[in-house]
Structure 1
């Protein structure tokens, strides 16, 4: 997994880098075919914004979160991303999509 963390109007400190890396490890535990992860942290007036784009095999997942605290935005981002990845994983596992329930062929 390639991880790229960039900051817009803020410096990405080692503490922030470690925090983001720790939060995103949860994603790779659920889904092991993650190719690239690009994280953008930015400050817009009083709002802290965290965005992530995860490149999976066959799909890109983009999630963003805006909070008053950067660490809170990273937490919300990680939760949203985790739900999206699990949803994508379930769709891939579902081999019977398109069949109606109750119709046996």
Structure 2
């Protein structure tokens, strides 16, 4: 990770630069795609203003902090960046988890046997079908009409999620899309 430290209206000593490098290098523990950090230290009369800009692959995070002590300012600004990185990392993980649930559901549907199960109350016929290739809802409608079944589960080519297309009693079709 590249760290660029710039001082405006003041000279930055080596211990401060080492302190900033040590603090910012810890950010890669939270999010490994940090590739550049810009730190701007500015002095105004008695206040020290810190601005940290963290460059990620597709995002840019900014934290500004001001206090009388430059070390307090850098600690608070790094704390704000850590909070933003945790939030961003949580979004990335939750998106991955959503796709994992979908893949598990698809695997379960494929592994279920298509046999007839008999319960104490009577016969229940269970029929499962799932289209292997992603398709548009119009294609799924044609396949549903050709199969003669009441519903079809397929992966929507537009969204990449599993959808269910079913026949309604009035002759129309209904589409169920998950909202995670």
TM (norm. structure 2) is: 0.53
Q: 2:179 is matched with which residue: 96, 99, 103?
A: 99
Match of residue 103 from structure 1:
none
- Structure 1 segment 67-78 matched on structure 2, within 5 A: 67-78=67-78
Q: Which has the higher contact order (CA 8 A, sep 6+)?
A: 1
Residues 1:44 and 2:124 are matched in the alignment? no
Instruction: List per-residue Cα deviations over 1:57-79 (Å, max 9, x = no partner).
Output: 11000111101100100110111
Match of residue 24 from structure 1:
24
Distance 2:30 2:14 in 1: 25
Instruction: List per-residue Cα deviations over 1:37-73 (Å, max 9, x = no partner).
Output: 1000110111111111011111000111101100100
Distance 1:58 1:90 in 2: 16
Distance 1:56 1:99 in 2: 28
Task: Say how many residue pairs are matched.
Answer: 99
**Structure number with larger C-alpha Rg:** 2
Higher normalized strand content (fraction of residues): 1
TM (norm. structure 1) is: 0.88
Gaps of 5+ in 1: 101-105
Residues 1:80 and 2:80 are matched in the alignment? yes
Aligned with 1:10: secondary structure? Answer: coil
- Structure 1 segment 58-69 matched on structure 2, within 5 A: 58-69=58-69
Distance 1:80 1:26 in 2: 14
Match of residue 57 from structure 1:
57
Distance 1:73 1:45 in 2: 15
